[in-house]
A and B are shown apart, each in its own frame.
Chain A
Amino acid sequence: MISWLLVMPIAIPFATAVIAWLARMGPAGRWISLFGSVLSLVASLALLMAVLENGVVAAQMSNWDAPFGITLVADYLGVVMVVITAITGLATAIYALGEIPERMEKLGYHALFQTLIAGVTGAFLTGDLFNLYVWFEVMLISSFGLLVLGGSREQLDAGIKYVALNLVSTLVFLSGIGLLYGMTGTLNMADLRGAVAAVENQGLVTVVAMMFLVGFGVKAAVFPLFFWLPASYHTPSFAVSAVFAGLLTKVGVYAMMRMFTLVFTGDIGFTHELLIWVSLLTMFTGVVGAAAQMDFRKILSFHIISQIGYMTLGLALYTPLALMGGVFYLVHHIIVKANLFLVSGMANKLAGSTDLNRIGGLYKSSPFLAVLFVVPAFSLAGFPPLSGFWAKYLIVKASIELEMWFVAFVSLLVGLLTIYSMTKIWGMAFWKPHPDGIEPTPDRVPASVRLPMMIPIVGLAVMTVVIGFFPEPFVQFARVSAEQLLDPGAYVTAVLGEGAAAPAEPAAATDAEPVTEPASETGGQP
Chain B
Amino acid sequence: MEALTALIVGLLVAGSVYLMLARSFMRFLFGLILLSNAANLVIFASGRMTPGAPALVPYGADAPAGVVGNALPQALVLTAIVIGFGLLAFTLALAFEAYRRLRTMDTDKMRLAEPKEDGK
Name A residues whose Cβ lies closer than 8 Å to a Cβ of B: 130, 133-134, 137, 140-141, 144-145, 148, 151, 153-161, 163-164, 167-168, 170-171, 174-175, 177-179, 181-182, 231-232, 234-235, 292-293, 298, 513, 515-520, 524
Contact = CB atoms under 8 A, between A and B. Distances in A.
A160 B69 CA distance: 40
B67 interface: yes
A518 B52 CA distance: 14
A517 B69 CA distance: 8
Top 5 nearest A-B pairs (CB, nearest first) are A182-B46, A178-B43, A157-B112, A178-B42, A158-B113
Nearest to A144: B90
B60 to A, nearest CB: 17
5 contacts: A159-B94, A161-B110, A161-B113, A177-B76, A232-B113
A91 B48 CA distance: 48
A178 B35 CA distance: 14
B88 to A, nearest CB: 8
Contact of A134 (B28, B42, B72, B79): B79
Contacts of A154: 112-113
Contacts of B63: 515
B68 A515 contact: yes
A518 B73 contact: no
Interface of B: 20, 25, 28, 32, 35-36, 38-39, 42-48, 50, 55, 63-64, 67-73, 76, 79-80, 83, 86-87, 90-91, 94-95, 97-98, 101-102, 107, 110-115
B94 A168 contact: no
Main secondary structure of the interface of B (DSSP, over half): helix
Nearest to A294: B115
B10 to A, nearest CB: 12
Given A171-B39, A182-B45, A516 B90 contact: no
A164 B20 CA distance: 10
Given A168-B32, A175-B38, A181-B43, 12 more contacts: A144-B94, A154-B112, A154-B113, A160-B107, A160-B110, A163-B94, A175-B42, A177-B76, A178-B44, A182-B47, A515-B64, A524-B46
A421 to B, nearest CB: 15
Contact of B97 (A156, A168, A171, A177): A156
Contacts of A235: 113
Contacts of B87: 137, 140-141, 144, 167, 170
B80 to A, nearest CB: 6
B32 A153 contact: no
A228 to B, nearest CB: 11
A482 to B, nearest CB: 32
A243 B64 CA distance: 48
A162 B98 CA distance: 13
Contacts of B114: 157, 231
Contacts of A232: 113
Contacts of B70: 513, 516-517
A157 B43 contact: no
B93 to A, nearest CB: 10
A171 B102 contact: no
Contacts of A157: 98, 102, 110-114
Contacts of B20: 168
A172 to B, nearest CB: 8
Given A171-B36, A231-B113, A178 B46 contact: yes
A167 B20 CA distance: 12
B48 A520 contact: yes
Given A134-B79, A168-B35, A178-B42, A160 B25 contact: yes
